[in-house]
Structure 1
Amino acid sequence: MKIFLLEDELQQQLRVEKHIATIANELDLTIEMISTGKLSEFEEYIQHSDLHQLYFLDIHIQDNEYCGLEIAQKIREANPYAIIVFITTKSEFASITYRYKVSALDFIDKNLNEDLFKSKLQGCIEYLTTIQIKNDDLTDYFEYDFRDKKIKIPFKDILYIETIGTAYKLNLVGKNFQKEIAGSLSDVLNKDEEDRYFSPHQSFIVNRSMIIGMDKKNKQLLLKEGYSCPISRSNIKRVKKLIEEQNLEYNA
């Protein structure tokens, strides 16, 4: 389990770290704690975080009264499954978070005494632990490991994966989110033992369950959620055969 803390007051950083270390010991959990007050570092963590991570955010950071809320939006865009908790003296902001559409789990008041403060932190950690267990039991995941960088996302939420300009960088496009991951399409396909992906183009692989049809005129493979992927000339016949076999939409 990874926990990320954005807090620009060193005293508060140390306070949270101390309680989480105690909680990890008491609950016999392995927790990797990453804390910083630097926005650039935190945004880097966001882009490379895994599924169902826990983020503790101060709201007022570096003279920006709404910084934590803005960062929470970036987290939600990169990781729709993240658990977000605000640790702040500004509990009045609880009523406006809906404007930012970040779905915070909780607000923890910095002014709480140590026992209550720790209890609040522990409640969030136990919630994440429960969510992870439930999802592992009930959810079919896409799990991918490339050069020690791991990703784990519910397969049903993935639309397609495409190559991007940088070598060994992929853009994973899902329902309401996009995420850059390290890897190559050929490596993903080689590890696809259940034949879940289909490649209509050398730069794209598509979740077969998301395919709804083909637009032959514009050489596009039609997907759910209004998405589409290009079809290379050499793959037109393969795509047409797939569409016909599954009785999907076909626009000549």
Structure 2
Amino acid sequence: MIPIYICEDNIKLLKKYEEYVSDYLCFHDFSMRIACVTPDPKTLLAAVQNADEPGIYFLDIMLSASVNGIEAAEQIRKYDPDGWIIFITSYPEMSSMVFQYRVEALDFILKDAPQSLKRRVFQCLETVQKRYEKSRTISPKLYCCKSGAHKLRLPYEDILYFESVSGSHKLLIHTTAGNYEIYASLNDVEKELDKRFFRSHKSYLVNTDYAIEFNRAGGYILMRNQERCLLSVRKIRKLEHSLMNDNV
């Protein structure tokens, strides 16, 4: 679901924008949800730091705070380079600043025409939904997570295997580009991924596309990078059945 963030220091307008978005989503089957509605850009930025998906941002430019809308957008881009930013303002001359800050806004909407504003908000939601649907059909599947302060978007095809770290609630993701440590459980990760990933052992979740040998006697799976992942005896038959079905 695409999270939607709204930041406007005029409380009356803030509620109106939230109402526009909420009403529109009620009548359209869009993959979106309202994640944060606030007059405070600092609250907005705190929420963005904890998000795992690209978001939609409706921002007032002239916020009565230490951070204005364009500066907030600049900070957002550090956490969400792929999100969609829409500015709402009473000052059309501020549009040039958007280009100066290189924040790549989807739209620049003027407050002075309420009916036009409402229509433009709807159009922005429609545009994002179309782009989102197109990206899901063209782009490779991604596993999204956080590693420390960094957000990761790892293509399934680059992941070798997941390994639980003994004595902790951490996982180690082994990829073709290197390893990443995250806080997660193998059970939860397994539910997110597709059938190419097989739970070979309580501590391993393996991308079978990278497996080159299933050693029953040794109790391991040999990966393309020559690393070994444990294979429990009770999982062998299930693995063989899974691979047989894939080859039908």
TM-score range for the pair, normalised by the shorter chain length = 0.5 to 0.7
How far apart are 1:85 and its partner, in Å?
0.5
**Separation of aligned partners in 2, 1:143 and 1:126:** 25
TM-score (norm 2): 0.60
How far apart are 1:25 and its partner, in Å?
2.3
Larger Rg: 2
**Matched ranges for 1:1-252 at <5 A:** 1-29=2-30, 31-33=32-34, 34-64=36-66, 67-113=68-114, 115-144=115-144, 153=153, 155=155, 183=183, 190-194=204-208
The answer on whether the counterparts of 1:141 and 1:152 sit within 8 Å (CA) in structure 2 is no
The answer on whether the counterparts of 1:7 and 1:57 sit within 8 Å (CA) in structure 2 is yes
How far apart are 1:46 and its partner, in Å?
1.1
Distance 1:63 1:76, change over 3 A: closer
Report sequence identity in percent.
Answer: 24
Unaligned runs of 5+ in 1: 160-166, 173-179, 197-234, 239-252
- Name the counterpart of 2:193: none
The answer on whether the counterparts of 1:2 and 1:54 sit within 8 Å (CA) in structure 2 is yes
Unaligned runs of 5+ in 2: 160-167, 174-179, 190-202, 211-224, 228-248
TM-align CA RMSD: 4.0
**Separation of aligned partners in 2, 1:79 and 1:143:** 16
How far apart are 1:26 and its partner, in Å?
2.8
Between 1 and 2, higher relative CO (CA 8 Å, sep ≥ 6) is seen in 1
TM-score (norm 1): 0.59
The answer on whether the counterparts of 1:139 and 1:154 sit within 8 Å (CA) in structure 2 is no
Distance 1:145 1:71, change over 3 A: closer
SS in 1 for 2:112: coil
Q: Which amino acid aligns with 2:131?
A: I
The answer on whether the counterparts of 1:168 and 1:183 sit within 8 Å (CA) in structure 2 is yes
**Separation of aligned partners in 1, 2:81 and 2:119:** 26
The answer on whether the counterparts of 2:55 and 2:83 sit within 8 Å (CA) in structure 1 is yes
The answer on whether the counterparts of 2:30 and 2:129 sit within 8 Å (CA) in structure 1 is no
